[in-house]
Amino acid sequence: MKELLYGAAYYDEYMPYDRLEKDVAMMKKAGINTIRIAESTWSTCEPQEGVFDFSHVTRVMDAMEEAGINVIIGTPTYAVPTWMVKAYPDVLAETVKGRGIYGARQIMDITHPVYRYYAERVIRKLMEVSAHRKCVIGFQLDNETKYYGTAGKNVQLGFVKYLREKFNNDLNALNHEFGLDYWSNRINAWEDFPDVRGTINGSLGAEFEKYQRSLVEEFLGWQAEIVSEYKREDQFITHNLDFEWRGYSYGVQPDVDHFKCAKHLTLAGVDIYHPTQDTLTGAEIAFGGDLIRSLKNDNYLVLETEAQGYPGWTPYDGQLRLQAYSHLAAGALGVMYWHWHSIHNSFETYWRGLLSHDMEENAVYREACIIGNEFRKLSPVLSGFKKNNKVAIMVNNESLTALKWFGIEADAAGNNGIRYNDVVRWIYDALYKMNIECDIIYSESTDIEKYKAVILPAMYVADEKLLKCLKDYTMHGGTLIATFKTAFANENVKVYPDRQPHILNEVFGIYYQQFTFPKNVTLTGFESGAPEAEHFMELLMSEGAETVLAYQHSNWKKYAAVTRHAYGKGEAWYIGCMFEEKYLQQLFVRILGENGIHAAAPEQFPVIVREGINEKGENIRFYLNYAWEEQIIKVSEKFSTVLGTADEEHREVSLGSWDVCIIKIG
Amino acid sequence: MKELLYGAAYYDEYMPYDRLEKDVAMMKKAGINTIRIAESTWSTCEPQEGVFDFSHVTRVMDAMEEAGINVIIGTPTYAVPTWMVKAYPDVLAETVKGRGIYGARQIMDITHPVYRYYAERVIRKLMEVSAHRKCVIGFQLDNETKYYGTAGKNVQLGFVKYLREKFNNDLNALNHEFGLDYWSNRINAWEDFPDVRGTINGSLGAEFEKYQRSLVEEFLGWQAEIVSEYKREDQFITHNLDFEWRGYSYGVQPDVDHFKCAKHLTLAGVDIYHPTQDTLTGAEIAFGGDLIRSLKNDNYLVLETEAQGYPGWTPYDGQLRLQAYSHLAAGALGVMYWHWHSIHNSFETYWRGLLSHDMEENAVYREACIIGNEFRKLSPVLSGFKKNNKVAIMVNNESLTALKWFGIEADAAGNNGIRYNDVVRWIYDALYKMNIECDIIYSESTDIEKYKAVILPAMYVADEKLLKCLKDYTMHGGTLIATFKTAFANENVKVYPDRQPHILNEVFGIYYQQFTFPKNVTLTGFESGAPEAEHFMELLMSEGAETVLAYQHSNWKKYAAVTRHAYGKGEAWYIGCMFEEKYLQQLFVRILGENGIHAAAPEQFPVIVREGINEKGENIRFYLNYAWEEQIIKVSEKFSTVLGTADEEHREVSLGSWDVCIIKIG
Amino acid sequence: MKELLYGAAYYDEYMPYDRLEKDVAMMKKAGINTIRIAESTWSTCEPQEGVFDFSHVTRVMDAMEEAGINVIIGTPTYAVPTWMVKAYPDVLAETVKGRGIYGARQIMDITHPVYRYYAERVIRKLMEVSAHRKCVIGFQLDNETKYYGTAGKNVQLGFVKYLREKFNNDLNALNHEFGLDYWSNRINAWEDFPDVRGTINGSLGAEFEKYQRSLVEEFLGWQAEIVSEYKREDQFITHNLDFEWRGYSYGVQPDVDHFKCAKHLTLAGVDIYHPTQDTLTGAEIAFGGDLIRSLKNDNYLVLETEAQGYPGWTPYDGQLRLQAYSHLAAGALGVMYWHWHSIHNSFETYWRGLLSHDMEENAVYREACIIGNEFRKLSPVLSGFKKNNKVAIMVNNESLTALKWFGIEADAAGNNGIRYNDVVRWIYDALYKMNIECDIIYSESTDIEKYKAVILPAMYVADEKLLKCLKDYTMHGGTLIATFKTAFANENVKVYPDRQPHILNEVFGIYYQQFTFPKNVTLTGFESGAPEAEHFMELLMSEGAETVLAYQHSNWKKYAAVTRHAYGKGEAWYIGCMFEEKYLQQLFVRILGENGIHAAAPEQFPVIVREGINEKGENIRFYLNYAWEEQIIKVSEKFSTVLGTADEEHREVSLGSWDVCIIKIG
């Protein structure tokens, strides 16, 4: 796309009175050039079974086409109309809590033929009225699709058939791999397969969740095929991928394998929500962007992000603009808000849009006007902005799931403690604040050789193929960095019955037999300071590795905490416990620095520096100030100013509160 | 009633051995002149379907009649007997958790014809044996009636019919008002109406709760009609109204519209429970009394309050007496304890009565003897004690419900924060501690012109009729005070799509488009000190109003926190955020003082001063000492002593620990 | 048994690969002489209904027999195979939450005939292959049996029949004893008996739990009879009894009456789990041992205890050995770990065994080798080690259950606060740390005359027979000590309707009518210091007793907190509230000291001293150091060293960190 996208989700259906003309005028004033419509409006588009009414869709497309505003059409399938559930109550997913009750979105069984039948029909009807329209630039499949806990008899039957195939009909193999002999869970005939919702077997349970994730992949693929029948060459297919939700977009999405889903899309899409005000750091914007960009190694759409959001997020002056450029700095093609106007009823009344409930101009809208008009001017410079990162963080859903079943801090009292994404974010956030840019790749990725360093945060589940690949990677010169809880279990969440970390113990030059929760344990080996070991610690024993950090504790002092080992042409570092982020940064300075990986600029958080190459091959750099304090920054290279206040002669960039500056290096 | 009532609930049914004669003697000694019997004893009165045995009731009436003790008869319908549920399991309410299991009280479907059939019969039978008895002074309908979450198919069917009528059969109107297009919840045929228990739509959900509350009103009206067929002219009909329960009587009752229910009663009744010992403040007694008294603008019955209650409430010496007079000071006709004796089995074993489990005289009983005998002496002075308050706090159930769906502090992580009653009590408690007496009125009240000031704590749901009425009230000279979250949504919990507060923005001379949760925000404008803004803040913009308090914060300093505006002949104050109570008191001193509203006496909490006029037109004043510390109080007026220690010559009142003094002014 | 047992649970079924030969070799090296097999392996032993395969069992017995290692056979009935549940879903217990879903262990209805039919058959088949084997020294019935909440129609029908018999078909008696008139719960016909799962009546609810506990007794008796048909004279029958679980073995088991179950066993067995590292105190080992030993007044088996357990428990060097000797010091016949190897799948992957997941030698295994070889040498000295304690703590399940229904700190907000076992452990731990050894006996015990002192922690439910027995005990010279909440309710959890404590008020020379939760109340009467009253306080009034401690508080100062009373030839102490443990120790020094009860040695925790008499009649003393700090201890008697470092000449024992020393006195 030539133009940076700037826009919002727009719901003509939800308006308290006819606003279309006024909204278009306000959009134009704000430089908005794209809207997303139709997702979640099934009950309006098909008010009764087989009765279709796309008047809202058509009327909005008409208005936008006239105004020169792009439209993304969302298939309306993620919330089902009442008539369907009334006639076929079984379309609601049966979960571990039983059959659902109508009301919320995302509560149906996405595999159910009744749902599929109606979904296909409404998609086709919608495509018929929209696909040929000039204003329509692409399609979003469904929205934030998950499997919604679907685990009814039909789904479980599919799962058993899937297992039969996976294990070549060999129950002994299944029992052995999953360890079902334990507590008499052994299955001795396929027809004895128990209701999997009650299982206490982590291997079986994790496999079922993996199967449930595959339903999402199949569902999106199915929708993509339907849409493809209608779409023009120039129209994209995307999906609104999202993240583990902790009141905001936190980490790897537990219920969807983004890597697999992305194959069905021509363009990756995402929504990212995050705290603002004094807790705005940009970390979620960067994390989400780095992960989504890496899925297809390409630019991506920010289909949703907050304008005002919940009251606690009402942005300070400048923050909306800072956020917008942070998305671009990660490789986004633009920014779209959820949503244009604050709605006046129902669940998300306080998830406020650009316009407040009074639908007049307000502080946020006025800032959007600035952003939209800057975007227009900057499009020639910023379009096609690409990354060439040297560091990758490798993640996978299987480890996330397994560490839910076997919590890192799980104890005999049933507490589960920190989770997979806490480790992922521990690693990511340290790099982010040091301005070391990275890709976030899934373990199925096949091109890791291009990275100078690959980091494995708690890669608990790792099959032997992956482990051999990582071994080769290091052997051939890569820098491999792993934390505790890596390579502990195979793809069936069976703990490897030999030295941990499995296979990689040779690469890291260490092994361990014991681990514990640290109490009053500090780490020695830093030049100054000695952080506490936190959450979990492995008692590492060297088999050739150098002990970089050791534990200080009466009983654990004989064990290493962080080790380094030359392996082949490469180097392998093992981090056996968690500790304060600033010390992790110190460690990364050493590990990465010694392997020739440095930040683009010496600044650190709250000044965030992001870099990349635009379509013309120019080196573009963003300075983002995540603070009230103004900043004057020395730039070592010659540059020209793209946006913001800079003194090219004295090579200085000036950043106000929550401000941004973009320069072209050279 | 000429005599102050003093009494207790009495359960001959629960006695471990025959105690009646001894209990009557102990009651007489304590000055007890009234007991309440029979409520909750259905399984004793009707041991098998159609078999009646009122021997406990009759024997107690006989004994009381002989002893000259009044009896209040409670209909026994709030706990159903086993035989009914065994034969008709469907009489148990079906709630969002499914059909209940027999055991607790208050678990039936109060609309169920089976329940109604048997309830009517047992009420009539009980009336036949009791209504003509001389000792019987009145009747209590059921007890603490609620709707118990009843939401079965029958109830939902009634709800749909109710909606059909409300919206004149116009589904479009319903969809539009409730915003059902959102998330595809639109209902396009009445027969598609979904199970409302699953709804995520706050408008639909709040309407259903309103409908459920109307079932309580209908139920009490139905019982009142039956009882009226039997009762004598001199007998009253009351009900035991209660409050939001937070381990004690906290605020407006969420599940019952007291205002509407009170129409079915000839005399309002209430139960009030509260902490004691060092946390006894009298605030719950005063709050409950002010609200219940205002329902019928008349004196009321305290049908239940604690004697000893739970172990944490065991009263200090003097507290039982202080509490008793606090009830009278609010306009109660007397005090009745729940209950006479501590029971030896089942759920409320530790909700101890006047007598402990040993049923001997004890410390509390001995204090009751003092109270009962004082009551007898004071009856001529204190009967018909009335209020003439100049301040009203206006509440409604609709705002309470809406702020449950849309929590004041609700965030994206799903936390809900403070509730409606926290705001109500914030306002109330400040006035209480300043000794500014007030009425607590429901928004349906039609006679607000009699108040000098009306206060709206978080009147979130307000229809246009009410808003225009409040506008007129101010225009004509009233002082209107509102907090944040007032006039935000209409009667269907649809946010008003124009300037907030709707209609009233003109009255207050302000509007706002944004709000947030305050962090490190202080308020400037007080003569000394600067409280923190707490919980929630609206970013007020003046349109003519004077900024009385402003926010101190880098980003919010341009907005007002508290404003004042002359409107017509009146004045309007808007309070945009919460803050520490003592500062609210300072603000009230200013607001009310400038409008000629002052406390009866200059004392402040822990000395509570209450005032009113007795039947003879005399001005009676209570001094209540909520503290260990003794107090000597100067009285500016001439007075004579009704109760307690006072020096009339030097115009001084002396209060010991947890002590009370009553004087007649003039 | 002549040899101290040292062993582990062993699961050939769970092995990732064939390990038997290697495991036997490693066991031999570690001095392991006993393993437990087969419990929980039903689905392996009977892969399909009626198809039996005991090859794992047989192969392990063969190997062990050859190696000279003992085998304990566990009946495999506490986890049911999938085929049974698939065919008969009703075998899963129906609890208050409804019918269970297959997955976890211990979810069946232990009374269900289908379950019983299959369980009996598999037990008989297992006995047939194992009972005659030389290596088999005994049998464990099931494992940690409970009733698993079973409350289906069949169970409730049994309960009603049980009540009919208990009350001689007299419903009036039942209603009166249980107080069912309350809230209309009265049952006027047996066929009206409601679903007891919903009851809010503590008497009925507690009786049902007692009935459910009786199902466990009946079940174990039934298994014992079956096993007895096969077992040899020299083989024992045991069961793995356990405790209230608070993430570790905390106190009296709520769901099983150990005293009654023990009658079905020839040898008591137990599992004990506890924190280690800096929180290892030995208290759970001692508590569990004292309770289990007292059941049959004999030595007992530790069938399970942790080797490594959860990560937080990974033991420090020396702790595994210290723990092992602590078990022996309480009278255990030896120590068996759960379990030999860490398993690689399913629920207890992190409940690690002696071997870690790599199944190599590790730190813990190496310490086990030391222990096992020491055990072998010490067997002649330590076998048949017996106690002769002078103090007994008396407990019962009925008080535990009742204090769940009526929590000690239960308040009107629904909080329940501390529980029965908190009081039991408060008493026990104080004695433990003072090195006062005690028996823990159930209230059905008939031989209390042998104790110099009997302590009743919160013996809330006590029938009159027991109370008269305790009265006689004191009258005849015993020292009776009771805490608050003793003798408050009868065996039907009906509060005694006279002076508390019922009957015993004469013995203690006190009574009370009121109680409260202490706030800012201190206790006066200690020589130095004044602890706060905590959790609960009774307001004691003397009727002859000496006030030993009094409350310091404006309102409660007139009441006693701790009293002492001479009664007959004995003495009775009443402790009316809780307070800090170290003050309780001071109190015990006085109470017990004055009655001639002293610790074996003057040391206190962290040095634990335990004593007893071995088979030869020699006086054996253990010194156990629960600390990092080394200790030099003076011994007042002549002694010879059994284990550890001691200077017999200078009569000194030396203890390193977490070290043990055993001496023979005289």
Instruction: Considering only the beta carbons, identify the residue of B178, B184, B189 that sits closest to A48.
Output: B189
- pLDDT at residue number B600: 87
Stretch B270-274: mean pLDDT: 98
Closest Cα in chain B to C511: B358
- What is the rounded distance in angstroms from the CA atom of residue A439 to the CA atom of residue A290? 5
| Contact flag C312-A499 (C-beta cutoff 8 Å) | no
- Read off the tokens for B108: 């039936």
Q: Pick from A179, A186, A514: which is nearest to C344 by CB? A: A179
Cβ-defined contact of A514 to C363 (cutoff 8 Å): yes
* Chain B residues touching A359 at Cβ < 8 A: 497-498
Provide the pLDDT for residue C104: 96
- pLDDT the model gives residue C600: 87
Residue A383 pLDDT: 86
Binary contact (B188, A43; C-beta < 8 A): yes
C513 to chain B: closest CA residue: B356
Q: For chain B, what percent of residues have pLDDT higher than 90?
A: 99
What residues are paired with B652 via a beta bridge? Answer: B634, B647
CB-based contact A120:A158 (threshold 8 Å): no
What's the pLDDT at C2? 79
Q: Letter for the amino acid at B205?
A: G
Contact predicate A559/A539, CB 8 Å: yes
Touching partners of C (3+ C-beta pairs < 8 Å): A, B
Contact B411 A277 (CB under 8 A): no
Q: Which residues of A touch B411 (CB under 8 A)?
A: 247, 310-312
Task: For residue C246, give how far its alpha carbon lies from the nearest alpha carbon of chain A (Å).
Answer: 6
| Chain A: residue whose CA lies nearest to B206 | A346
Is C564 annotated to bind a ligand? Reply is no
> Looking at CA atoms only, how far is residue A259 from chain C in angstroms?
27
Supply B649's token pair.
Answer: 């010559």
Domain C239-383 has CATH 3.20.20.80: yes
Q: What is the pTM of this model?
A: 0.97
User: If you count DSSP H runs as helices and E runs as strands, how many of each does chain B have, helices first?
Assistant: 17, 31
pLDDT of C151 higher than 90: yes
- Contact list, A181 vs chain C (CB under 8 Å): 11, 13-14, 41, 43-44
Using a CB-CB cut-off of 8 Å, the residues of chain A touching B186 are 43-44, 47, 81-82
Q: Could you tell me the two tokens for A489? A: 């279990």
pLDDT at A1 over 80: no
C311 vs A181, A513, A517: nearest CB: A517
Q: How many CB atoms lie within 10 A of CB A413?
A: 12
Q: Which of B41, B310, B351 sits opposite C181 (nearest CB)?
A: B41
Instruction: For residue A186, give the nearest of C44, C100, C364 by CB distance.
Output: C44
Q: Provide the β-strand partners of residue C461.
A: C489
Contact residues on chain C for A555, CB-CB shorter than 8 A: 277, 316-317
Min Cα separation B275/chain A (Å): 34
Which residue in chain C has the smallest CA separation from A171?
A: C47
Q: Which pairs with CB-CB distance under 8 Å and at least 24 residues apart come from B232-237?
A: B232/B131, B232/B132, B234/B137, B235/B131, B235/B136, B235/B137, B235/B138, B235/B139, B236/B137, B236/B138, B236/B139, B236/B265, B236/B266, B236/B267, B237/B138, B237/B139, B237/B141, B237/B264, B237/B265, B237/B266, B237/B267
Each residue of B335-393: pLDDT tens digit? 999 999 999 999 999 999 999 999 999 999 999 999 999 999 999 999 899 999 999 99
Task: Dump pLDDT digits (tens) for A105-154.
Answer: 999 999 999 999 999 999 999 999 999 999 999 999 999 999 999 999 99
Output the pLDDT for position C1.
67
Is the CB of B316 less than 8 angstroms away from the CB of C499? no
Average pLDDT, chain A: 97
What local confidence, expressed as pLDDT, does residue C358 receive? 98
CB distance C356–A514 less than 8 Å?
yes
Q: Chain C contacts of A199, Cβ < 8 Å? A: 102-103
Q: CB C207: neighbour CB atoms within 10 A?
A: 25
Residue B433: exposure state from Cβ atoms within 10 A (0-12, 13-18, ≥19): buried
Q: Identify the residue among C555, C557, C577, C578 best suited for mutation to test binding to B, counting B beta carbons within 10 A and taking the highest.
A: C555
The dihedrals phi and psi of B166, each to the nearest 5 degrees, come to: -60, -40
Residue of C nearest to A412 (CA): C247
Rg of the Cα atoms in chain C: 26
pLDDT at residue C446 greater than cutoff 90: no
Which among C148, C346, C362, C629 is the top mutation candidate for probing chain A, defined by the most A β-carbons within 10 Å of its own β-carbon? C346
Percentage of residues of chain A with pLDDT beyond 70: 100
**Average pLDDT, integer, range C395-420:** 96
Mean pLDDT on C67-95:
97
Q: Tell the CATH topology of A391-593.
A: Rossmann fold (3.40.50)
Q: Residue C122: what pLDDT?
A: 98
Mutate to test the interface with C, among A176, A415, A555, A578 (most CBs of C within 10 A): A555
How many contacts does B have with C, using Cβ atoms within 8 A? Answer: 175
C364 to chain A, minimum CA–CA distance in Å? Answer: 9
Distance CA B122, CA B52 (A): 8
**Tens digits of residue pLDDT in C262-300:** 999 999 999 999 999 999 999 999 999 999 999 999 999
Q: Chain C residues with CB inside 8 Å of A516's CB?
A: 277, 311-314
The alpha-carbon gap from C98 to the nearest alpha carbon of chain B, in Å, equals: 12
Distance from the B96 Cα atom to the nearest Cα atom in chain A, whole angstroms: 10
- The residues of A carrying an active-site annotation are 144, 304
| Crossing angle for the helix pair B397-405 and B202-228, to the nearest 10 degrees | 140
Residue B307's SS3 state is: coil
> Residues of A with CB below 8 A from C278's CB?
519-520
User: In whole angstroms, what is the distance from residue B625 CA to residue B623 CA?
Assistant: 7
Match domain A607-665 to its CATH number in 2.40.128, 3.10.20, 1.10.3470, 2.60.40.
2.60.40
Neighbours of chain A (3+ CB pairs under 8 A): B, C
To test the contact with chain B by mutation, choose from A346, A360, A628 the residue with the greatest count of B C-beta atoms within 10 A, namely: A346
Nearest neighbour of C81 by CB, restricted to A184, A511, A555: A184
Residue (of B280, B271, B214, B215) closest to B244 by Cα position: B271
Cβ separation C188–B81 shorter than 8 A: yes
B519-578 per-position pLDDT tens digit: 999 999 999 999 999 999 999 999 999 999 999 999 999 999 999 999 999 999 999 999
pLDDT at B419 > cutoff 90: yes
pLDDT digits (tens, 9 = 90+) for C208-249: 999 999 999 999 999 999 999 999 999 999 999 999 999 999
Q: For the beta carbon of residue B120, count every other beta carbon within 10 angstroms.
A: 15
Maximum CA pair distance of chain C? 79
> In the predicted model, what is the mean pLDDT of residues C125-145?
98
Element (H, E) at B28: helix B20-30
Give C336-348 pLDDT, tens digit per residue.
999 999 999 999 9
Q: Count chain A–chain B contacts defined by CB atoms under 8 A.
A: 173
Residues of B known to be catalytic: 144, 304
When CB atoms are compared, the residue of C40, C101, C363 closest to A195 is C101
Chain A residue with CA closest to C278: the answer is: A519
Give the neighbours of chain B: at least 3 Cβ pairs within 8 Å.
Answer: A, C
Cβ <8 Å between A191 and C86: yes
Annotated binding site of B for substrate: 105, 143, 313
Nearest to C83 among A176, A189, A500 (CB): A189
Whether A322 and A658 have beta carbons less than 8 Å apart is answered as: yes
Residue-wise pLDDT for B294-306, tens only, equals 999 999 999 999 9
pLDDT band with cut points at 50, 70 and 90 for residue A600 = confident
Identify the band that residue B2 occupies on the pLDDT scale cut at 50, 70 and 90.
confident
**Ligand-binding site membership of C105 (annotated):** yes
Query: What amino acid positions of C are annotated as catalytic residues?
Result: 144, 304
Hey, what are C165's tokens? 């018999």
Confidence of residue C568 (pLDDT cuts 50, 70, 90): very high
| Residue among C95, C96, C174, C185 with most chain B CBs within 10 A, to mutate | C185
C489 φ/ψ angles, rounded to the nearest 5 degrees: -135, 155
pLDDT of residue A553: 98
| CB atoms inside a 10 Å sphere around CB A170 | 12
